Chains A and B, each alone.
Chain A
Amino acid sequence: MGDKKNSLKAIVIVPAYNEGQVIDGVLKKLINDLDKSGLKYVDIVVVNDGSKDNTAEIVKKYKNVRLINHLLNSGAGAANRTGLAYARDKDYDFAVTMDADGQHDSADTVRILNELMKGSRDIVIGSRLVNAKGMPWYRVMLNKGGGIFTFLLFGIYVGDSQSGLRGFNRRALQVITFHSNNYTYNSELMWRIKQNGLTVKEIPIKAIYSEYSLSKGQTNWEVIHIVRQLLKYRLLEFFNG
């Protein structure tokens, strides 16, 4: 079992946009935690979503980290999609996506990888809402609201549907496609998971909220745009198939 686990190829996808301030620390800790985990074949890819700061230069310093530069800034959904497409193209067995703003603890990334390698589920989601201590109340409301809205619209309930820390096995990598370029992808992804009959497990994770990480990610007002876009997708699929 241990040998089989060590022969599996995995990749950690880190989508980044203007993360020059924190990405160095995030990558250092990630590399360190992966080394300590004993997992052999785990690569890291940073998808630089057209950053205007020095994100790309910092990532280039790491010889063992693959950098994919988006030619245009396209949004968090597009950066995640590029990372997943890369994982699919390069035939990885597992892929984990994690935020570059330092919100996720890379020890949780390792836990997600280990959970995926057990093979019981296609997708493992790191839920920040199981223990939401330290999370601002409006973020808790927003994330729970996102989960309920996703359920009402698409019929799938995931406690933390908006979490950026997610793991995919090979089966999920092969079938999952989503088209949203911005944060709408979180809910659309849940929809595609349901459509493809993939199995999901949520495990509690720690969310590290700093002034910096709170300033990143989706704003409260973006929710209106996301709701509008999801309704549009539902309507278009209803009429156009």
Chain B
Amino acid sequence: MDKYELLFILNVPFVFFGVLKTIMAYRTKISSWPAFLLRLLFWLLILLVLIFAGPIYNYLYRHGLTDSTPLSIADVVLTTGVMVCLSLCLRLYGKIDKMDKRLSDLHEKLSIYISTKD
């Protein structure tokens, strides 16, 4: 299998979930229309880079904009690994943030309850 195809297959699920989350956030009115467009554009840009990774590399190489070696299997694995780590970090960060908010809410409610019960 072509290395660029492998890169696409391994990374396209991240884009798929990203787009899905973007649509969900808009449908559930978490994000506004401009925010939705911006996020969608971001993921579509990544998708385009994944689809045209080969031609983009060739173009850059031909015009002297990069002198790196062509994509190897190790590069594919590394790129996918970075994507996995990034999405894990963001998910964990989101979860910690949510827990932090819940803890703050609990502290707030408890403080009001204790102070007003007498």
Binding site for B on A (CB under 8 A): 47, 66-72, 74, 78, 81-82, 85-86, 89, 179, 181, 195, 236-241
Number of A-B contacts (CB under 8 A): 66
Count class of interface residues, chain B: 20 to 34
Contact B112 A236 (CB under 8 A): no
Given A240-B90, A240-B94, A71-B38 contact (CB < 8 Å): no
One of A71, A179, A236 near B107 (C-beta < 8 A): A71
What are some 27 contacts across the A-B interface (CB < 8 A)? A66-B116, A67-B115, A68-B112, A68-B115, A71-B110, A72-B107, A74-B104, A78-B107, A81-B104, A81-B108, A82-B108, A82-B111, A82-B112, A85-B112, A179-B104, A195-B32, A236-B94, A238-B42, A239-B18, A239-B39, A239-B94, A240-B21, A240-B90, A241-B22, A241-B24, A241-B25, A241-B30
Binding site for A on B (CB under 8 A): 18, 21-22, 24-25, 30-32, 35, 38-39, 42, 90-91, 93-94, 97, 100-101, 104, 107-112, 114-116
Contact B104 A238 (CB under 8 A): no
The minimal Cβ–Cβ distance linking A196 to chain B, given in whole angstroms, is: 11
Q: Given the complex, which residues of B lie within 8 Å of A241, measured CB to CB?
A: 21-22, 24-25, 30-31
